[in-house]
Amino acid sequence: MNKKENINNWVDEALNSLDNVKRATGKPYLLTRMNAKMHNSNSSVWDNALQFISKPMVALACMLTIIAFNVLVISRNYNTSNTINEEQAVTVDEYNANITSLNYTENIEP
Amino acid sequence: MNQLDLIIALQQGDNEAFKKLIDEWQDMVYNTALGIIQNEDDADEITQEVFIQVFQSIRSFKGDAKISTWLYRITISKALDYLKKQQRKKRFGFVDYFWSGNKNDVDEGKEFHHPGVVMENKEMASQLFKAMKQLPNNQRIAFTLHKLEAQKYGDIAVIMNISLQATESLIARAKTNLKKIVQEYYTKNIA
C-alpha cells in the first residue's frame, strides 16, 4: 500500500469518525446555575461602573489623565503669572510706585 | 404533557413546566453548542443563556414551529455570537489586554475531544473537529446538526430556514472542504 492510499484511508476514517457519536450530556444543576446567573445579571448600574473603574488599566489611564490635566493647568498659570509680573513692573515704573520709604522722598533734592 | 400544553404552561409561568423543558432539551442544546464552539465550559454557558432567553421570551413564542426547532435556532444564534466574539478577541487581543488586564485566552491550536466519540475514533475525530473550525459558519452548522445531532436534511432545512437543495449543497460542500483540509494535514504532517 503506497503513501497516497494510506492518506486516503486516514482521511476517510477521519470523515467517518463521527458516525454513531453519542450526544454529550450537559452539566447537572443547570436550573440552579441559571438562577444564579439571572440574579447576577440584575446587579445595578453602579456595580458595573465600579467594576469597570476598578480595572487596573482603567484606573491607570484615569490617573495619567488627571496628572496631565494638572500639568497643563500649572504650566498655564505659570505663563499667565509671568505676563502679570511684566505688566506690574511697567505700571510701577510709570508711577514711581517702587518707592517704599517716605524718608526717601523727603531726601530727594529739587 | 404534549407540546402545546407545555407551551401554555410555560407562558403561564409554571416552574414545573420550565424544569421539564430543561430536563428534556438540555442535552440537545448543550451538544449542539459544543459541536459548534468546541469548548465544554463555553457550551455550558451558552446552554444557560439559551434557556434564560427561552424563559424571558416564551410569551412571544407563537407555537408555529416545534420547540426543538426554536431551541436549535436560539442555540445556533448564541453560538454564532460567541464565535464572532472570539474572532473579535483575536483581532483586538492587545486592546482587550490593555483595558481588562486579562490575557487573550483564545486558543486555536487546542485539541477538542467530544465526549460522545468512541475511544478508537478519538484522534481522528479530533482532527475532524479541528478542520470544522475552518469551515464557513453555515457549513459548520449544517454539518454539526447532521453529524452530531443526527438531524435529517429536511429538519436542518427548517432549522436553518433554507431550502432542502440548499441544505444538501451546504453539507456536500462541507464534506468536500473537510476532506481537503484533513488531506492537507495528513500530507504535511504524516507522509
How many Å apart are CA B58 and CA B62, to the nearest integer? Answer: 9
**Where does residue B162 rank: exposed (0-12), middle (13-18), buried (19+ CB within 10 A)?**
middle
The better pLDDT of the pair B9, A91 is held by: B9
Q: What is the structure's pLDDT at A1?
A: 58
Portion of chain B with pLDDT greater than 70, in percent: 90
Q: Which three cell numbers stand for residue A11?
A: 482521511
Q: Decide if B148 and A21 are in contact by the 8 Å CB cutoff.
A: yes
What residue type is assigned to position B164 of the chain? L
Given a contact cutoff of 8 angstroms between Cβ atoms, the answer to whether A7 and B183 are in contact is yes
How many Å apart are CA A54 and CA A102, to the nearest integer? Answer: 64
Q: Which three cell numbers stand for residue B83?
A: 464565535
In chain B, the residue whose alpha carbon lies closest to the alpha carbon of A60 is: B99
**Which DSSP state fits A42?**
T
Given a contact cutoff of 8 angstroms between Cβ atoms, the answer to whether B106 and B88 are in contact is no
Q: Decide if A15 and B182 are in contact by the 8 Å CB cutoff.
A: yes
Of B47, B149, B182, the CB nearest to A26: B47
pLDDT reading at A93 higher than 80: no
Which pTM value belongs to this model? 0.74
Radius of gyration of chain B (CA): 18
Q: What is the structure's pLDDT at B91?
A: 76
Q: Decide if A11 and B118 are in contact by the 8 Å CB cutoff.
A: no
Confidence bin at B96 (pLDDT 50/70/90): low
Given a contact cutoff of 8 angstroms between Cβ atoms, the answer to whether B115 and A24 are in contact is yes
How many Å apart are CA A103 and CA B91, to the nearest integer? Answer: 81
Q: pLDDT tens digits, residue range A38-74?
A: 887 766 677 778 878 878 888 899 999 999 999 999 9
How many Å apart are CA B28 and CA A23, to the nearest integer? Answer: 7
Given a contact cutoff of 8 angstroms between Cβ atoms, the answer to whether B67 and B184 are in contact is no
Distance from CA of B183 to the nearest CA of A (A): 6
Q: Which three cell numbers stand for residue A31?
A: 436550573
pLDDT reading at B90 higher than 90: no
Residues of A near B (CB-CB distance < 8 A)?
Answer: 3, 6-8, 10-11, 13-15, 17-27, 30-31, 33-34, 37-38, 55-58
Q: pLDDT tens digits, residue range B145-166?
A: 999 999 999 999 999 999 999 9
Q: What is the structure's pLDDT at B104?
A: 53
